[in-house]
Amino acid sequence: MVQATLFLLVLSLALVAPSLSAGKCVLTGHWKNDLGSNMTIGTVNEKGNFAGSYHTAVSATTNEIQVSPLQGSQHLTNQKSEPTFGFTVSWSFS
């Protein structure tokens, strides 16, 4: 009985959780990756475009690492599809 209840609980969470998060992808904020690089993303506009800055912690250059501008776009979704986004960085130091 306990195993059946646990199974039903896990199954219901697996079915409900994707629908709770699929329509909402908030990119705005400060992000840090495992290597210590930092990214700041500003507000996403009504067309899905955004701008921000990227400060890499990893480089093969001897030049001083500087904060670099980034631009990106988020594919605006309806409730039936997953959100996607992409961005490009214009390196200021190389």
Q: Looking at the domain assignment, is residue 83 inside a domain?
A: yes
Residue-wise pLDDT for 7-36, tens only, equals 444 444 444 445 444 456 788 999 999 999
Find the domain containing 79 and state its range: 28-89
CATH of residue 83: 2.40.128.30
Q: Looking at the domain assignment, is residue 21 inside a domain?
A: no
SS3 at position 27: coil
Q: Looking at the domain assignment, is residue 22 inside a domain?
A: no
Domain count, the chain: 1
Number of H helices and E strands in the chain, helices first, is 1, 5
Q: In angstroms, how far is CA 54 from the centroid of its own chain?
A: 13
Contact 87, 72 (CB under 8 A): yes
Residue-wise pLDDT for 50-79, tens only, equals 999 999 888 787 888 889 999 999 987 766
**CA separation for the pair 86, 67 (Å, rounded):** 19
> pTM above the 0.75 mark?
no
Buried b (16+ CB within 10 A) or exposed e, 18-54: eeeeeeeeebeeeeeeeeeeebebeebeeebebebbb
